[in-house]
Amino acid sequence: MALRLYNTLTRSKEDFQTLEPGVVKMYSCGPTVYNYAHIGNLRSYIFADVLRRALEYSGYEVKHVMNVTDVGHLTSDADIGEDKLDREARKEGKNPWEIARHYEEVFFNDLKALDIEQPTVKCRATEHIPDMIALVEKLLERGHAYETDQAVYYDVTTFPSYTALSRQSLEDKITAARQEVQEDPGKRNPADFALWFKAVGRFENHIMRWDSPWGVGFPGWHIECSAMSMKYLGETLDIHTGGEDHIWVHHPNETAQSEGATGKQFVRWWMHGAFLVVGDLSRGVEERRMGKSEGNFVRLQTLINREYDPLAYRYACLMAHYRTKLKFTWDSIDAAASGYNSLKDFVARAKQIGGEEMPWVGEYRERFKAALADDLNMPMAMAAVSELVREAEKRKEYGVLDALYDFDKVLGLQLRSAAERATNIDKEIESLIMEREEARATKDWARADAIRKQLGDQGILLEDTPAGTLWRRTT
RNA sequence: GGCGACGUAGCCAAGUGGUUAAGGCAGCGGUCUGCAAAAUCGCUAUCACCAGUUCGAUUCUGGUCGUCGCCUCCA
C-alpha cells in the first residue's frame, strides 16, 4: 500500500518512499520530563503512533527513536532564566534526576495505557552529553558556531536555508519581546541560539552540569535531538515528527545543527501534529491550547479518575485528522467513550455469533486502506469502520472480525482483547445461562428474570436474540 | 507589529467546483421485542458574512467579522 503523507517542508502531500528500501527511520520529539504530560501532549504521541502503525501496516520496518529531555529547558527566552528541572527540584525537595525519572516513568505509563507502541530506542539527553559536545565541536570547526563568555551559539546566517521549514523571515520577528529577556551582548544575531551554556552568571548554580571544552555547563535545548537522532538513525531521517509549535524554532534549529555538521539533508518528511484546544472546562469551550497556567490542565490520570477508559481518548483523537486542531470538551470525550463502547459491544456480539467473511466486506477493507493512505485520514477510516459495523448488523452477517482486527493494527483500540474479555465466562455462569434458556423455553419468566438479575449483578449483560442468548461483561 | 491557521447540524468532525455535504455522540418518532438489551427505519445543516471568477461555489479569489496558534521552553 502506497502512502501519501503531508510534508511540512513542502506544505503538500507527497508519495512516501524511504531512503533505504523497506526501512523507515523515524524520530519523534519526546517529552520534557519536568512535569506531567497533559492530554494535549499525548495527542501528539497518538499521532506519531498511528503514523508508525500505518507504516508497519504497509509493510515497513520502522526504527523509531524518541528522546527524553531530562536536562530541563529554560523557563524564559534566550540566555537567561530558571531551569525548569531545577525549579521543580527545589519545590519538591529532590534532585533534578529524581524529578526527571519520576515524570519519565509516568509518561511512558501513559503511552502504554493509550496502547502506543514503545519507541525502538528511548534516549535520555543526560546520557548523551559527549555526543552533543562532539556535535558542537564539529559546528565550531565548520564555522557555524562561535563562543562568547556566556555560551556557544549557532550563527544562523551561516545556514542560508534556515527559514525553509518555518517560512518566516527572521527580520519580521520581534526580539526580546518580554521585559525579563536579556540578550547576551556577545550574540551576533537575535535568532542565534545556544548550543552550549556555560555555568556562569545566572546559571552559576545550575545543578545539572558537565565538563566541556568551553568550561563547565550544560547543553542548549535543541542540540540533543540532532545528536541523538543522528547517532541512532544516521545523518538522514525519513520522518521526523513533533507538535506543530516546533515548526518555527525547534525544528529549524535541529536542521541547522544537523545539516551544518554533515552537509547532508537531515529530514526527508517533517510531520507535525496539531494541538488539542480547550478552554475553561467548567464553562464550555473557548479554544485555547492546554497549558499549565491556563487552568485547563487535563492529564490522562484526570480522565481515569473520571472513569474514562484511556482508549476512549485515543478514539476521540482518531475521530479528528491529525493536522486539524481538536476541541476537547467533556461532551466530546463522552461522545468518544460512547462510540468506543458500542464498537466494543459489537465485536463481542460478532465474536459470539461468528460467521464467514462475505465478499461485501472487501469494499470496506479497501475504503479503510484508502483513507489511511491519504495522509492518515483516520476520521474517514473510522467512518468506514462504522459503516462496516452497520452493514454487518443489517445483513446479519457477522464475519467481519478479521477485518476489524486487521484495522485495529493501526487503530490501536484493543478490539480483540476487548471482545475476549467481554465474552469470557466461566462454567458456572455458562450453566446458569443454559438454565435460563430452558426456563425461557417453558415460559418460566420469573426464573429467567431472576437469572438475568443475578448475572447482571455480576456485571454480565444478557441479550436475547434470534441467534440465541448472547452475553457480555459490562465491567 | 509580523507570520500562519481555522470558522460545516445541539456537540465532536470528514469532505467536494456540479447527482442525496461522510461518520460518531446526543435528541425525537416508528418497527422489532415476554422483560431487558441490542438492532433497524425515519427526522434534525440555505457549509460565518459580503463581493468576485464560473454555466454552476460550501469547495477558487478578495474583503469583513470572529476564534486560535506561532514569533519565548512548551505537543
CATH number at residue A155: 3.40.50.620
- Give the separation between CA A34 and CA A146, rounded to whole angstroms: 30
Is any atom of nucleic acid chain B found less than 7 Å from the CB of residue A390?
A: yes
C-alpha grid cell, residue A340: 468506543
- Give the separation between CA A63 and CA A82, rounded to whole angstroms: 35
C-alpha grid cell, residue A375: 495522509
Distance A438 CA to B53 C1' (A): 74
Higher pLDDT, A255 or A288: A255
- Give the separation between CA A337 and CA A322, rounded to whole angstroms: 19
Residue A285 lies in a domain: no
What is the tens place of the pLDDT at every residue in A151-169?
A: 999 999 999 899 899 888 7
Tell me which residue range forms the domain holding A249: 4-273
Q: Which of A273, A289, A319 corresponds to the end of one domain?
A: A273
Distance A364 CA to B49 C1' (A): 39
Residue A335 lies in a domain: yes
Same domain, yes or no, for A431 and A412? no
Nucleotides of B under 7 A from a protein CB: 1-6, 10-15, 22-26, 33-41, 67-75
Is any atom of nucleic acid chain B found less than 7 Å from the CB of residue A352?
A: no
- Give the separation between CA A220 and CA A314, rounded to whole angstroms: 33
Same domain, yes or no, for A149 and A208? yes
> Worst-scoring range by mean pLDDT, A93-97, A285-289, A303-307, A336-340?
A285-289
pLDDT for the residue numbered A178:
41
Q: Which residue is nearest to nucleotide B71 (CA to C1')?
A: A173
A184, A79 contact by CB (below 8 A)? yes
Distance A287 CA to B64 C1' (A): 22
Total Cβ atoms within 10 A of residue A113: 18
Split into its structural domains, chain A has a count of 3
Distance A12 CA to B6 C1' (A): 18
Same domain, yes or no, for A418 and A438? no
Residue A275, classed as helix, strand or coil, is: coil
> Worst-scoring range by mean pLDDT, A145-149, A204-208, A398-402?
A204-208
Is any atom of nucleic acid chain B found less than 7 Å from the CB of residue A403?
A: no
Q: What is the nearest nucleotide to A330, using C1' and CA?
A: B11
Complex ipTM tops 0.90 = yes
- Helices A401-411 and A415-423: crossing angle in degrees, nearest 10, is 130
The 8-class DSSP code of residue A270 comes to: E
Residue A303 lies in a domain: no
Same domain, yes or no, for A388 and A375? yes
Same domain, yes or no, for A268 and A149? yes
**Nearest residue to A337 via CA among A302, A298, A308, A307:** A308
Residue A306 lies in a domain: no
Same domain, yes or no, for A356 and A408? yes
At residue A307, φ and ψ (nearest 5 deg) are: 70, 30
Distance A276 CA to B4 C1' (A): 17
What is the tens place of the pLDDT at every residue in A309-346?
A: 999 999 999 999 999 999 999 999 999 999 999 999 99
Establish how many alpha carbons lie within 13 A of residue A456's alpha carbon, considering only the half-sphere containing its beta carbon: 8
Is any atom of nucleic acid chain B found less than 7 Å from the CB of residue A28?
A: no
Q: Is the pLDDT of residue A92 over 90?
A: no
What is the tens place of the pLDDT at every residue in A33-61?
A: 888 999 999 999 999 999 999 999 999 99
